Chain A
């Protein structure tokens, strides 16, 4: 089958339109009944508690390796004591939200795309509509709300665990004083850093969940289509998240510049 450039452009514009409508509906549904509180809590458990082990593991070791790498450079300038500050600022402002976002995208965006995709290709979504239930309310909004809330919480946990990872390296490998590490790490953080670190997962959670749901609901072509939707969801969620990170950072730097 051959497609002209016009067809491809039309398809992409349609995809953006459909994604925008779904994203908008996922927010608008919060303000109208019925609200699926039980489904939201269940999704929060799946997304939040389920992602906890990988977030803790990756956070801890990334914090540790960051301390190790930065100590190497800081030692050249006699600034080894700033290791805690560097780890905490990097993790809270940037790496924590992005790392946690990527982990949750890998786990949850793909999970949503494959689950909703399977439902789509087996007509379960149509059956839900036929039974008088709005799939965007029953399936999408609970996933969006729970991903946003859980990603913020997971990011906070990731930040703390990564600082602990950095502390482990600082104390046991670099022979730094633990109290000094924690005090510089803690004191260097301002309201702006924490605010920036909490706004990002809020946006990332929305991107991850809406993209996962969008690709799932637009899956076509049987099991192969579900597999394709799952891969596309992971790729699109990660890429859009990282691109949006640049713009969010630029925007937030106007409000919370480096001290």
Chain B
């Protein structure tokens, strides 16, 4: 699919979305749009409602009010039964990977394909391809408990991308990882963005990851990402959204957030 043809089509639309738990408002009138081919990075401190945004987008939770439209379908008004078909077009990487601990890596990655009754030969081919993408071809028969934290995240990414989803949702994919492993994961996200051109919503509290995404492009020849030195050439398709206590306080690109006047954001950037 050529994303240039669909650049103005919204992939995710949040309209005045509110949700509260036990009378505590967690998201308040959240409105944003993610266009096709774009990556939007959601920032916020712990408890700001970032993960909730992903779960709402996936229809795992329903908002108290407002509308959520994903890939042209209003998930906030859909029944659970109808959501399963839509979710097959979306890939999600959970914060703690959420790999099925009783299945080995091969079965975890191929889970969706088996559910779709894809042929055995094609499954083997696509699993190998997805694991090669995350450079873990040698882990096929290992169980999640035998993998390191970083490897588990990479397997989770392979599981999410195996069906070539139109939209990827990443929930803090680098949380709790050492800097080297974090860079490996971010490189995979950049690779997925630049090679497969998939729209993505990335939740993180690590500003450096988001800036790395905005300031780097993937070089297929070198098989690694490289820095774009000129600020004017930073990836215009990567935008930032900052949440504070469930309220959107900023939305813009890397240059705008770097030059923001907001005290909270400047404080956040300093940390």
Q: Chain A: residues with CB nearer than 8 A to chain B?
A: 34, 118-119, 122-124, 126-134
Contact B100 A130 (CB under 8 A): no
A and B contact pairs by CB, cutoff 8 A, 7 listed: A126-B94, A127-B94, A129-B83, A130-B90, A132-B84, A132-B88, A134-B80
Chain B interface size, as a band, is 20 to 34
Q: Which of B36-71 contact A (CB under 8 A)?
A: 55, 58, 60
Contact A129 B87 (CB under 8 A): yes
Q: Which of B76-92 contact A (CB under 8 A)?
A: 80-81, 83-85, 87-88, 90, 92
CB-based nearest B residue for A131: B112
Contacts of B101 in A (CB 8 A): 118, 122, 124
CA distance A34 to B60 in the complex (A): 20
Contacts of B100 in A (CB 8 A): 119, 124, 127-128
Contacts of A127 in B (CB 8 A): 92, 94, 98-100
B159 to chain A, nearest CB (A): 8
Among A119, A124, A132, contact of B112 (Cβ-Cβ < 8 Å): A132
Q: Per-position contact with A for B106-118: 1 when CB-CB < 8 Å, else 0?
A: 0000011001000
Q: Tell me whether B194 is interfacial, beta carbon within 8 Å.
A: no
CA distance A122 to B145 in the complex (A): 13
How many A-B pairs with Cβ below 8 Å?
55
Contact A131 B94 (CB under 8 A): no
CA distance A118 to B145 in the complex (A): 14
Contact A132 B92 (CB under 8 A): no
A156 to chain B, nearest CB (A): 31
Contacts of B111 in A (CB 8 A): 131, 133
Q: Tell me whether B135 is interfacial, beta carbon within 8 Å.
A: no
Contact A133 B94 (CB under 8 A): no
A73 to chain B, nearest CB (A): 51
Contact B115 A124 (CB under 8 A): no
Q: Chain B: residues with CB nearer than 8 A to chain A?
A: 55, 58, 60, 80-81, 83-85, 87-88, 90, 92, 94-96, 98-101, 111-112, 115, 159
B29 to chain A, nearest CB (A): 25
Interface centre among B55, B94, B95, B98 (most CB of A within 10 A): B98
Question: Given A122-B98, A123-B94, A123-B96, A130 and B60 touching (CB < 8 A)?
Answer: yes
Contact A122 B96 (CB under 8 A): yes
Contacts of B81 in A (CB 8 A): 134
Among A122, A130, A133, contact of B115 (Cβ-Cβ < 8 Å): A133
CA distance A123 to B95 in the complex (A): 9
CB-based nearest A residue for B171: A123
Contact A134 B98 (CB under 8 A): no
B50 to chain A, nearest CB (A): 15
CA distance A34 to B100 in the complex (A): 20
CA distance A84 to B1 in the complex (A): 76
CB-based nearest B residue for A115: B102
4 additional A-B pairs beyond A124-B98, A124-B99, A130-B58, beta carbons within 8 Å, are A122-B101, A129-B84, A132-B112, A134-B84
Contacts of B94 in A (CB 8 A): 123, 126-127, 130
A204 to chain B, nearest CB (A): 27
Contact A132 B96 (CB under 8 A): no
B79 to chain A, nearest CB (A): 11
CA distance A5 to B101 in the complex (A): 40
Contacts of B98 in A (CB 8 A): 122-124, 126-127
CA distance A134 to B85 in the complex (A): 10
Contact A132 B115 (CB under 8 A): yes
B27 to chain A, nearest CB (A): 18
B78 to chain A, nearest CB (A): 13
Q: Which 9 A-B pairs have the closest CB atoms?
A: A132-B88, A127-B98, A123-B98, A130-B92, A132-B87, A132-B84, A131-B112, A123-B94, A133-B115
A87 to chain B, nearest CB (A): 42
Contacts of A132 in B (CB 8 A): 84-85, 87-88, 112, 115
CA distance A128 to B55 in the complex (A): 13
CA distance A130 to B115 in the complex (A): 13
